[in-house]
Structure 1
Amino acid sequence: MFLKNLSLVNYKNFEERQFEFDSKTNCFVGDNGKGKTNILDAIYHLAFGKSYFNPLAGQNIKHGEDFFIIEGIFKLRDRNEKIVCSLKKGMKKIIKRNNKVYDRLSDHIGLLPLVIISPADRDLILEGSDIRRKFMDSVISQSDKEYLQTLLKYNKILQQRNTLLKYFAINHSFDQATISVYNEQLNGFGTSIFNKRAAFVEDFIPIFKEQYLAITGGEELVNIHYESKLFSRDLLSLLESNIEKDRALQYTSVGIHKDDLRFEIENYPIKKFGSQGQQKSFLIALKFAQFQFLKAHAGTTPIMLLDDIFDKLDEKRVKHIITLVDDENFGQIFISDTHPERTENVVKSIHQSYKIFKL
């Protein structure tokens, strides 16, 4: 799979711009503020129907305008796929595939597997569990449509249960029968999600460790642990035993929406005990493992976006990244960088065809 061309209208800092891409390596170079990352985000937008960097969709519209349009032509399994993502202020975002509007955005997820490596990824280590859950869910969802639908159903029931708990508190009432209905539904969906997450992490860890070793060449022991209360008790009994706590808090305090991934180096949390260099290597290994996992399970080679990472990495880590992508089977890669000469030296060393776009 690769992106043949991209068209932007009123997207972030671009009024109107078109790009014709190389099937292997494409680089965007220029000073900060020229829109290099915005182009990568537009590509991400086509794959996921949302921005990687700004969750507020309306803020991706160019200042002074009232809509944006992103259009891309992808070569996928010997056929062209035209994907259009558009948003008009005050209206619902629209995703089209070959001129047909999706009824549900979730139906689009997984068509265009994609991995992004960005300085913003440090949040995976430094921030709360929701960031790591989203990472895990994103990887699984790109290769398992049933998982995504189950997750959406779980979140809908969870929201309804939380609304009911607030209603009970406001009205000083309680209805065990209604709560039990929600508990049963959460248990069904949640147990399925838990089982798939556990299976994913078991498959993912060896790939991740292999990538970390390739990047560092060292002997450091790294690991990922999936943390969930469902390892010790079924979700239904957890929900039932925590009902008084939930009534007091007015939200559901247990379930797969509280799961986490624990990142370790030498059996200690990398957030507290890993150096900046070790954390960077951990994150890059995580993303390259994501790439390898998707390639094996999604049925096509993912697109890789590298956002401004050469500024953030030492020469040794950059060389390891180049070694990993210098492979005929790697696929299409997009790079943003502030130094044209450095970028050209890097892409020449990859021994693949390339284009450089100066902004």
Structure 2
Amino acid sequence: MISSLRLYSFRAYDEAELEFDPDFNRIVGKNGVGKTSLLEAVAHLGYGNSPWSGRTVDVIRSGSDFAVIHGIGATRKQDVKIKIKRGSRKEVYLREKRIPRMSELLGVFPITAVGPQEIELVKGSPSIRRKMLDSVLCQIDAVYTENLSRFKKLILDRNSALKGVRSGEMKGGHVLIDSIDENLAPAAAGVMEKRELLIRQLHAKSSEIYREMTGGRGGALELIYKPTVDVEDKSVGEIEQGYYNRLSARRKRDLDTGETVIGPHRDELYFGKDGEDMAR
């Protein structure tokens, strides 16, 4: 929980300092006074960036060279300061010490940002839904963050090797792909196992809330995880072996396209009501 927030040259704010109630806070004001800017500043403390702005420097107040966001929470660990400068890299400090990786910030202030654009979670592309899952899990599970980072790197390496073998420019490429697959499978399995668990938990809770909201007359809400390999009722070791086997079986087709088409980067999250896809 963020107990206090200090802003300097952030959006509409020249300087501002706020204290928050530990139980509930409501932000009220006329249009254009900075309500959304406050939420954006809070989101920076959780994510290290804005969920709504494309360019980081856009948050710097006109006429200023930098902006500062400083949040303090109830525990000693919850002291985050972010300095955003024009023409320079963002500086993030945790307990007054600059951190080299943004991943170290995740989980200090766990945050979920929800706004009108979240309709894209249902209507938008699968990548938006995967990004949401990653945003939640990376804040609460350091091992997931490591597995996801490793998977993303290895999938790029594998696709590069596939293209190299296909073009004939990479000698011994199959041996390299074998090595990549051996490391890719455990990372992918770690990601898929945690995603499946999270979706099961979200499905149970959201279905309960939806029934209460509709008095049981709104139909059945469904959240279903749809990975490219079978993960249901399987251990992480079984998921790893299953994914490795699929990679091996599909290699010729992957070589034809120069792309790996199975794995967490192709997962889908299904939103349904009474068996109908809500994305339609």
TM-score range relative to shorter protein: 0.7 to 0.9
Aligned pair 1:257/2:265, yes or no? yes
Q: Normalization by structure 1: what TM-score?
A: 0.68
Provide the residue aligned with 1:121 in structure 2. Answer: 118
Shift of 1:155: 0.9
Compared CA separation, residues 58 and 158, structure 1 to 2 (3 A): farther
CA distance in 2, matches of 1:269, 1:257: 21
CA distance in 2, matches of 1:244, 1:61: 50
Shift of 1:63: 3.6
Amino acid corresponding to residue 5 of structure 2 in structure 1:
L
Amino acid corresponding to residue 256 of structure 1 in structure 2:
P
Compared CA separation, residues 207 and 241, structure 1 to 2 (3 A): same
The aligned runs of 1:216-295 (5 Å cut-off) are 216-219=214-217, 220-231=219-230, 234-272=242-280
Provide the residue aligned with 1:47 in structure 2. Answer: 46
Shift of 1:80: 7.2
Compared CA separation, residues 159 and 34, structure 1 to 2 (3 A): farther
- Conserved? CA contact 1:245–1:253, under 8 Å: no
- Conserved? CA contact 2:81–2:94, under 8 Å: yes
Identity %: 27
Provide the residue aligned with 1:10 in structure 2. Answer: 9
- Conserved? CA contact 2:78–2:109, under 8 Å: no
Amino acid corresponding to residue 212 of structure 2 in structure 1:
A
Shift of 1:108: 2.0
Amino acid corresponding to residue 203 of structure 1 in structure 2:
Q
- Conserved? CA contact 2:77–2:108, under 8 Å: no
Amino acid corresponding to residue 223 of structure 2 in structure 1:
I
Shift of 1:64: 4.2
Compared CA separation, residues 12 and 245, structure 1 to 2 (3 A): farther
Provide the residue aligned with 1:189 in structure 2. Answer: 187
Question: Which structure carries more strand by proportion?
Answer: 1
Aligned pair 1:199/2:197, yes or no? yes
Helix, strand or coil at the partner of 1:123: helix
Provide the residue aligned with 2:174 in structure 1. Answer: 176
CA distance in 1, matches of 2:158, 2:51: 29
Provide the residue aligned with 1:318 in structure 2. Answer: none
Provide the residue aligned with 1:72 in structure 2. Answer: 71
Shift of 1:61: 2.5
Provide the residue aligned with 2:95 in structure 1. Answer: 98
Flag the structure with more relative contact order, 1 or 2, with Cα contacts below 8 A and sequence separation at least 6.
1
CA distance in 2, matches of 1:168, 1:65: 51
Aligned pair 1:87/2:81, yes or no? no
Amino acid corresponding to residue 149 of structure 1 in structure 2:
E
Provide the residue aligned with 1:58 in structure 2. Answer: 57
Q: Normalization by structure 2: what TM-score?
A: 0.86
Helix, strand or coil at the partner of 1:25: coil
Amino acid corresponding to residue 151 of structure 1 in structure 2:
L
Q: How many aligned positions are there?
A: 269
CA distance in 1, matches of 2:149, 2:230: 22
CA distance in 1, matches of 2:251, 2:67: 46
CA distance in 2, matches of 1:257, 1:166: 18
Shift of 1:264: 0.5
- Conserved? CA contact 2:9–2:67, under 8 Å: yes
Shift of 1:109: 1.0
Segments of structure 1 that go 5 or more residues without pairing to the other structure are 273-359
Once the two structures are overlaid, the 10-residue window that deviates more, 116-125 or 100-109, is 100-109
Shift of 1:140: 2.3
Shift of 1:131: 1.1
Provide the residue aligned with 1:152 in structure 2. Answer: 149
CA distance in 1, matches of 2:83, 2:31: 26
- Conserved? CA contact 2:2–2:109, under 8 Å: no
Shift of 1:118: 1.2
CA distance in 2, matches of 1:203, 1:20: 33
Provide the residue aligned with 2:30 in structure 1. Answer: 31
Once the two structures are overlaid, the 10-residue window that deviates more, 243-252 or 212-221, is 243-252
Shift of 1:218: 2.9
Provide the residue aligned with 2:161 in structure 1. Answer: 164
